[in-house]
Chain A
Amino acid sequence: MGHISQQFFDLGYLDTLASGDSPVHRLDPRVKLITTLAFIATVVSFDKYSISGLIPFAIFPAVQISIAGLPAGYLLKKVLWVSPFAVLVGIFNPLIDQDILLHIGSIGISGGWVSFSSILIRCLLTVTSALILIASTGFDTLCAALQRLGVPRPFVVQLMFLYRYIFVLMDEATRMVRAVSLRSFNSGAMHFRIFVPMMGHLLLRTLDRSQRIHLAMKCRGFDGHIRVIRFMKIRSTDIFFATGCLTFFIVLKYCNISYELGHLITRLIP
C-alpha cells in the first residue's frame, strides 16, 4: 500500500518539478537529452577500476540541480532506492577479486572493493542525471523532442498515451487494493485466489475504458496522430550549453583532474 502510493507520488512530483522555470528548464529538450546521453556514455566508458577519474563528473549533476532548483535530497534518496541490482551484482567483486590494488598507510585495499566503489559511483552519476533530465523537462516535452529526433511516430504516440493513463489506472488499482485491505483487516498478504479476479477485473475495466476513450476520440476527430502546439527552436544558449558540456566531458575523460589536484596538494604539503 505504501509502495503504490509512493510511486504515484513520485510520478506526480517529478511532473510538478518539471513545470518550474529556470535556465535548465528553458533549454531545448533535444539538447538536454543528447547531453545527458553523452554524459552517461562518458561515465560508463571509464575503466572499471576508476574512481578518481569519475568524481569530477559530479559537477554536472550538482550544477544542474542547483540551477534548476531541484531538491537534491529527494533525488539522492531515489537513487538509493533504485540501485539494488547494481549493488547485488557488484557486491561479488570484493569477494572474487582480492588482489591488493592500493595501500592507504598499511591497510591494503583489494581491487574488488575499488571496482565495487566504482560501480556505486557510476550508479549515482547515471541515475541522478536521468532523473534531472525528466525533472527539468517533463514527459510530454521529452516525447515531442523524441519525435523531432526521428523516433517513429507510433512509438511516441504510445508513450504519450501510456503516460496519460498511468495516473487513471494507478488510481483505480489503488482503490482496489484499499478495498481489499479494508476487508481483510489490513493483513498485508494477498492470496492468489484474490489476486487473479482482481487483476482480471482491472483488465476488463481497462479494456472498457479504452473503448470509451476511442469513442470520445472519434467524436473529436482523432486520426491516429497527436498534434502538439510547441515550437522548438535551438537558440544560442542551447548551442553554448551543448558545446560547453561536451568539451567538459571530453576534457574530464582524458585528464584526471582529481589526480592532478591531489598531486599538487600532496606535493605542497610534504
Chain B
Amino acid sequence: MHMADALISPAVGGTLWVATAGLIAYSAKKAGNELDDRKVPLMGVLGAFIFASQMINFTIPATGSSGHLGGGMILAILLGPYAAFLTMASVLTVQALFFADGGLLALGCNIFNLGFFPCFVAYPLIYKKIAGENPSRNRILIGAIAAALVALQLGAFSVVLETLLSGISELPFGTFVLLMSPIHLAIGLVEGLATAAVVIFVWKAKPEILSAASTSTPIGAPPIRQVLIGLLAVTVITGGVLSWFASSHPDGLEWSMFKTAGTEELDSPPHGIHEALASLQEKTAFLPDYSFRSEAVPEQATEAPAEKEATWPAVAPGTSLSGLVGGALTLVLALLIGIALKRRKKVAA
C-alpha cells in the first residue's frame, strides 16, 4: 500500500508533501500544547513498537496468507490523534529512508494515506463514536474493525487517485478501484480484528491506559471542524494544482508520445539542436503555452489511424535505434565512471 516514487508525478508528490507538512506542523503544535514530557518517550517507544510488531505475522486460517497489526489505528487509540499522527509520520519516514518503502517524494502521499485517514477521520468519527468514554469489549471490537476498514478503504482510494493523477500507470480508474478495494477490505478486516484483540488485551490488563489516552485529548467540535476545514483547503488546493496540471496534458495517457513524435516528424530534420528545442518546448508546455499542442492533438488523432502504419515504420527505426544505442552507451559510461573512481581510490589508499 506504500506509494512508490516511480509511480507519481512531481505535481502530485509536491502537493501531498505540502499537505502533509501542514498537518505535521499543526499536529506538532497541538501535541506540543498537551504534551507533558511523559508523552515524549511514550510516542517514541510506541513508534518503535509499531515497527517491531509489523515484522511479526500471524497466519490467517484457510487462506495461506498472513497479516499483521496495522499502525495508525492502534496508535490513535493509545495516544490520541495528534500524537498518533506524528508517530505514524515518523514510522513512515524511517521506513522510507532505511527500507526504501515508498520513497522520499512519495513520503507525503504515504503519510497522508496511512496517517491522516486513521488518525483524523476514522478514529474521531468512527472509533470514538462507537467505543465512547466507557468502552466495553464488544464496542472496542466493532469500533476498531469499522474504523480500520474505513481508514484502509479511504487510504486505498487515495492511492488510486494519486496514481491516476500522476499518469504514469496505465490502469483505468474502474479497474484500479476494483483491484485495490476488495484487497484492502480483506486487509482492513484482518488488521481491525488484530487491533481490536490487542486493544482488548491491554484494556483487560491495564484499563487505566486506555482511559488516560481517551481523556487526555478531548475531541470536541472545534478540532474536528478545523481538521475538516483544513481538509477542504487541501482538496481545493490539490484540485486547483492538479486540474491545471491535467489540463496541460489533456489526453496524456494515450497520445503524448505520438504527439511529440508526430511534431518531430512533421517539421524537423531529426538533428541535435532541433531535438533539444523540441523537448524544451515540450517541457514549457507544462505552462500555459499550450495552444500549439492542443491544435496538434485532434489533427494527429484523426490522421493517426491511417498514417500510423505508413509513417511509423519508415521514420521510427532511426530515432529508436539512436535512443537505444545512446542509452546503452550512457549507462556503460556511468558505470565506467563509477568503477574508475573506485579504482583510483583504491590506488590512493
* Residue interface bits B95-123, CB-to-A below 8 A is 1, else 0: 01111110111000000000000000000
Cα distance, A103 to B195, chains bound together (Å): 53
* Interface presence of B201 (CB below 8 A): yes
Q: Are B325 and A266 in contact (CB under 8 A)?
A: yes
- Mark contacts of A107-134 with chain B using CB atoms, 8 A cut-off: 1 yes-contact digit, 0 otherwise: 0000110110011101100110011011
Q: Is the pair A159, B5 in contact by a Cβ cutoff of 8 Å?
A: no
Instruction: Establish whether residues B331 and A55, one from each chain, have CB atoms under 8 Å apart when the complex forms.
Output: yes
Q: CB of B57 within 8 A of chain A? A: yes
Can you report 29 A-B residue pairs in the complex whose CB atoms are below 8 A from each other? A44-B5, A49-B256, A66-B339, A85-B4, A89-B171, A90-B7, A90-B169, A97-B254, A119-B6, A126-B4, A127-B103, A130-B97, A133-B104, A139-B94, A152-B28, A158-B47, A161-B47, A162-B87, A162-B90, A165-B45, A202-B52, A203-B202, A206-B45, A206-B49, A256-B279, A257-B326, A258-B330, A258-B331, A265-B329
Q: Would you give the 0/1 interface string for A158-170, flagging 1 where the beta carbon is closer than 8 Å to chain B? A: 1111111110111
A255: Cβ under 8 A from any B Cβ: yes
Instruction: Give B261's nearest chain A residue, CB to CB.
Output: A101
Question: Which residue from chain B places its CB closest to the CB of A105 in the assembled complex?
Answer: B317
Which residue of B41, B53, B69, B168 contacts A210 across the interface (Cβ within 8 Å)? B41
Is B220 interfacial (CB 8 A cutoff)? no
- A263 adjacent to B326 (CB under 8 Å): yes
Residues 197-249 of A at the B interface (beta carbon under 8 Å): 197-200, 202-204, 206-207, 209-211, 213-214, 217-218, 222-224
Main secondary structure of the interface of B (DSSP, over half): helix
- Interface positions, chain A 63-90, Cβ under 8 Å from B, are 63, 65-67, 69, 72, 78-79, 82-83, 85-86, 89-90
Task: In the complex, identify which listed stretch (B29-37, B132-140, B145-153, B228-236) lies at the interface while the others stay far away.
Answer: B29-37
- Decide: A96 near B35, CB < 8 A? Known: A55-B330, A217-B41: no
Instruction: Assess whether B94 is in contact with A159, with CB atoms less than 8 Å apart.
Output: yes
- A59-B337 in contact given A14-B98, A48-B168, A96-B171 (Cβ < 8 Å): yes
Q: Given the complex, which residues of B lie within 8 Å of A182, measured CB to CB?
A: none
Q: What sequence of 0s and 1s flags, for each residue 133-170 of chain A, a beta carbon within 8 Å of any chain B beta carbon?
A: 11000010010000000011111011111111110111
Within the assembled complex, what's the spacing in Å between the Cα atoms of A259 and B325? 8
Given the interface pairs A44-B10, A45-B9, A256-B276, the reply to whether A162 lies near B326 with Cβ below 8 Å is no
Which residues of the other chain, B, contact A92 by a CB distance below 8 angstroms?
Answer: 169-171, 175
Separation of A92 and B28 alpha carbons in the complex (Å)? 40
The docked-state distance in angstroms from the alpha carbon of A218 to that of B52 is 26
Is B18 located at the chain interface by the 8 A CB criterion?
no
With contact pairs A10-B98, A82-B101 given, residues A102 and B320 touching in the complex (Cβ less than 8 Å): yes
Q: Does B42 belong to the interface (CB within 8 Å)?
A: yes
A119-B6, A159-B94 known; A131-B100 Cβ under 8 A:
yes
B152 to chain A, nearest CB (A): 15
Contact with B along A162-206 (1 / 0, CB 8 A): 111110111011001100000000000111101111111011101
Q: A31 at interface (Cβ–Cβ under 8 A)? A: no
A118: chain B residues within 8 A (beta carbon): 168
Interface string of A32-54 (1 = CB under 8 A from B): 00001100110111011101110
- Give the complex CA separation of A197 and B24 in angstroms: 33
Distance A83 CA – B100 CA, assembled complex (angstroms): 9
B225 in contact (CB, < 8 A): no
Closest to B102 in A: A85
Q: Is the CB of A126 within 8 A of B58?
A: no
A201 to B, closest residue via Cβ: B201
How far is the CB of A65 from the nearest CB of chain B, in Å? 6
Q: What residues of A have a CB within 8 angstroms of the CB of B3 in the complex?
A: 85
Residues of B close to A101: CB separation below 8 A: 257
Contacts of B29 in A (CB 8 A): 152
Chain B residue at minimum C-beta to C-beta distance from A130: B104
Q: How far is the CA of A45 from the CA of B167 in the complex (A)?
A: 11
Docked Cα-Cα span, A81 to B52, in Å, equals 19
Task: Tell me which residues across on chain A come within 8 A of B319, comparing CB atoms.
Answer: 102
- The distance from the CB of A93 to the nearest CB of chain B, in whole angstroms, is 4
Question: How far, in angstroms, from A222 to B339 measured CA to CA in the complex?
Answer: 48
Known: A89-B163, A139-B94, A204-B202. 11 other contacts (CB 8 A): A44-B105, A55-B331, A67-B341, A85-B7, A103-B312, A161-B44, A162-B91, A162-B94, A198-B56, A200-B198, A217-B37
Q: Which of B40, B201, B280, B324 has the most CB of A within 10 A?
A: B40
